[in-house]
Structure formats: structure tokens, C-alpha cells
A and B are shown apart, each in its own frame.
Chain A
Amino acid sequence: MKVRTLKRHLIESLKSLKRNGWMSLAAISAVAVTLLLVGSFVAMLMNVNKLATDIENDVSVRVYIDLAADEKEQKKLETELSTLKNVDTVEFSSRESELKQVVGSYGNEFNLFQGDDNPLYDVFIVNTDSPENTAAVAKKAEALENVAKVNYGGATADNLFKTMNTVRNVGVIIIGALVLTAVFLISNTIRITIMSRRTEIEIMKLVGATNWFIRWPFLIEGALIGFIGSFIPVAFISFLYVTIYDIGTTYLSGTYFALLTPSPFLFQIGSAMLAIGIVIGAIGSSISIRRFLKV
């Protein structure tokens, strides 16, 4: 396509957008709302997925020591744990240091649990040689004496993955409905443009304009609606994510877990949203071009 022609198509599309003012605005808003939800949702799912994977890859098993156990029994437990199969290291973490960590991540409210009010256990942090062995090690540790309870990442990860699946399925349905609404509103806007330009289309055909020359402005108009509509949610989500990331990083500092860093993530999700917006727009206009533009 010649640059001149492209410019002409763009101008035609912008004129139509303006002429259809309210319809265009409705279609743009529909795209914006849809993408806001799509974007937030995907951002959330991807982070939960990241956390679940982090947890899954965590090789440690936390063995909580019975409060009644004395020092000798603790030593015995430590030896038993370190001789278990697939165990690399066993570290001791006292109730006090456990509480310090909690206060570090969740805030000073937990300070009132100092001293004898400390609700936490002494813990042996058992590192296995690979994530797959955590379940087996946990099971064996559970059977040992003076063990209050055992916790490992795999179980939590499994639960997270399950919840995520449900959330994803519900989300896909809601987003699907929203996408359809946006497509419908865009195709309606384009239909109105086509109707209002009937004479021009007739003359273009008569004097020998090619079919694609006639179609382009309508296609571009739809794509523009999608493009403009995706701008707002991209900006909004970027801002929101950076904020959440800062807060989340503070909470997760010192742990094995982290949120996805904004730098590649926001670019990826942002460009994906722009692309989705443009595709929704192009699909919406294609529907009307097929149905109402007889070329």
C-alpha cells in the first residue's frame, strides 16, 4: 500500500470515529473494561502461578518440634532427621527467630507475642536434595518421635494450583462474555459507518476502487477503537502493578518467593493487551464488513 493511501485510510477512519462519537465511545469503553479485567486477571494468575512454582521448587520441609521435648530429645530428633534418605541439611530455628521473621514480614502487631506468649514452635528446617523428595521426607519425619507437625511446599503448591484452575475457568467465562460484548459494540459502530457512507461506497465501486481499498478504512476504524480502548487499562494496570509489586516485595523479602518483576512482565502483558484490543477491533469490524459491505 502506498503511504499516501494509508494516510487517506487513517484520516477516513478517524473522521468516522468522530462522526459516530457516542457509539465509538461506547465501543472504546467496552474494550477498556474488558481488557482491564483480562489484564488484572492474567497478572494475578501469572503471579499465583509463579508463587506456586516457587513453593513447589522449595526443597525444604519444616518439622515443628513438640513443645514438651527437652534438649536431649531435640538432639535425637535432629540426628534421626539428618540420617533420613535424601536429606541434605538440617537447620534449627528457634521460636524466637521464627517470630522475628513473622514480625519482619507482617508487621509490629506480632510483637505482643514476645516471650512466653510466643505461639510458635521450634523448627527443624530440613533441606532435601530435590523438590520431588519433599513429600517422602515429610512423611517419614511425621512418624518420628517429638514431632508436632510437618509442613512442606508441595502440599501448599498443589492447593494453589487447584484453586488457580477453578479461578481460571470462571474467569475465562466472564472474560469471554465481555469480549463478545466488545466485539458486538464495535461491529455495530462499523455497521453504522458503513450505512452512513453508502453513496461513497457505491461511487467507489463504480469508478473502480478495489475491494480492499473500500474495506481498509472500516477495518482500521475497528482496530483504532480496540487500540484506543486498550490504552487506558494498560496504563492503569502498569501503575497498579508497580505499586503492588513494591508492597509485595517488602512482605516477601527474606523468603524464597518473589512476584514477577515489572520490567519484562509489564511489557509482555501490556503489548499482549494492545494486541488483544486491536484484534478484537479488527474482528468486530470484519463481521460488519462481511455482512453489510457488499464488495
Chain B
Amino acid sequence: MIEMINVYKKYPNGITAVNGLNVRIEQGEFAYVVGPSGAGKSTFIKMMYREEIATKGTIKVGEFDLVNMKDKDIPYLRRHVGVVFQDFKLLPRLTVYENIAYAMEVVEKNPKVIKKRVLEVLDLVGLKHKIRMFPNELSGGEQQRIAIARAIANMPRVLIADEPTGNLDPDTSMEIMAILEQINTQGTTVIMATHNSQIVNVVKHRVLAVENGRIVRDQLEGDYGYEG
């Protein structure tokens, strides 16, 4: 489903963030991306939705060839890849409902479909009762749940999360994990970069350890493997 062969990424400032990386992730898998700060985890992940373009190598996501693709096709790739960040990126002026509907409106989904789907994903993240609230009226964990609901609204085949629990306390982080697990159970591939050793060690999944822009350990049901 996702395949990277001999991928390099050199930033314009000369830093080589990804340095000959090889990986293959099947549809429906759940994989953690772990490793020290600056190892290249975020760069690796960003290349999956073409936020960054590989300098060299082959990247395939579904039927998309990310190295040779035309810029005008990027939006259609993005519709298959949902993304969640540490800082949520919700629109402050829109309500919970509007934030999620927004993601569907801008890809020109039918209003009826939007209404139904927003309620569906809100139900999945357990926040149907906060539908009319604004982001600043929600806790961090709730905001992240809305961000996840938005990321899956267009039914992507892959959900990418870059440190989704980075700003959250352990209990809230576990709630987020439960939601990600559930989304994964429904068949969506989940790829999550994290520094949270507790989660990785407790909620067991495949672990991809990145160091110096390479995968140095690829372990099913793996553990975090770094200090703290």
C-alpha cells in the first residue's frame, strides 16, 4: 500500500533528513514511527502526502507515484491520506460541526452526504454533544478528537498522525489511542510518529525506529526502545 525504496531527502539548507530509507506498509496496518529528535520522522511522514518531495528514490501510496506525479494531482492523493498534528489546526471561527464539514465542502462533497458523515465521525470520536461548540470551548483532548474526526471525514485509506498526543496528558492520550485503534479496525492504515514510550509499549503495534534518516529497526508488536 505504501512503499518507499531508497528514498533520500535533502533540504535546501543542505541537511539530509532522510538518507536511503526503505519501507513497505500494507493496507490496514498500524505502525509507530519512533526515534530521537531530529531523526527524520516528520520528514519521512510528510513525504507520504507530498508535503515534502523526495530528492531521490521511489515512493508509492496506493496507485499514486509520488515522485513522478504532477502537482495538479496532489489534491487527489491528499483525499486518500488524512493527517493529524500535535497542534490540532482547527479553525477558531468555526464550530465543531463546521470544522469537520469544512474539510468535506472544500472537496465539493454533496451537502446531504456531509451532514450524515459529520454526525457519523462525531459519534465515532464521542463528541456528538459538543457539535455547536467552538474549538476554544474544548479541552486539548477534545480538540484533537475533532481534528481526527476531520481527518477521516473524507474516508481516507491512510491516517497519518505526527505526535498526536504530544500536547496531551497520559489519560487523554489513551483516549486518543482508543479512537485511532477503532479507525484502524475499520480498515484504515494508521501511521503515527510519537515520543510516547508508554503508549508504544502498551498498545502493541509494528514499530519503525528511525535514526539518521534510516529505518534501523522494524519490529511487529515492537516496543519503544529508547529512554523516556
Residues of A participating in the B interface, judged by any CB pair closer than 8 Å = 2, 4-5, 8, 199-200, 202-211, 213-214
Contact = CB atoms under 8 A, between A and B. Distances in A.
B106 interface: yes
Nearest to A1: B108
Interface secondary structure of B, over-half rule? helix
B79 interface: yes
A5 B108 contact: yes
Interface stretch (B28-36, B69-77, B172-180, B185-193): B69-77
Interface of B: 49, 71-72, 74-79, 82-83, 89, 91, 102-103, 105-108, 111, 150-151, 153-154
A18 to B, nearest CB: 14
A208 B89 contact: no
A57 B72 CA distance: 59
Contacts of A5: 108
Q: Which 7 A-B pairs have the closest CB atoms?
A: A208-B78, A208-B79, A209-B106, A208-B75, A207-B103, A210-B75, A204-B106
Contacts of A202: 89
Contacts of B74: 208
Given A205-B75, A208-B154, 17 more contacts: A2-B108, A8-B105, A200-B102, A203-B103, A204-B106, A206-B83, A207-B78, A207-B79, A207-B82, A207-B107, A207-B150, A207-B153, A208-B77, A209-B107, A210-B72, A211-B72, A213-B108
Residue of B71, B77, B107, B111 with highest tally of chain A CB at under 10 A: B107
A26 B78 CA distance: 39
9 contacts: A199-B89, A205-B75, A206-B49, A206-B83, A206-B89, A208-B77, A210-B72, A211-B72, A213-B108
A4 B102 CA distance: 14
Contacts of B103: 203, 207
A205 B89 contact: no
B107 A208 contact: yes
B72 A213 contact: no
Contacts of B154: 207-208
Contacts of B82: 207
Contact of A203 (B71, B77, B102, B111): B102
Given A208-B154, A209-B106, A200 B75 contact: no
A2 B74 CA distance: 21
A4 B111 contact: yes
B91 A209 contact: no
A204 B89 CA distance: 11
B109 to A, nearest CB: 10
Nearest to B81: A208
Contacts of B72: 210-211
A232 to B, nearest CB: 32
A4 B114 CA distance: 13
B1 to A, nearest CB: 18
Nearest to B147: A203
Contacts of B79: 207-208
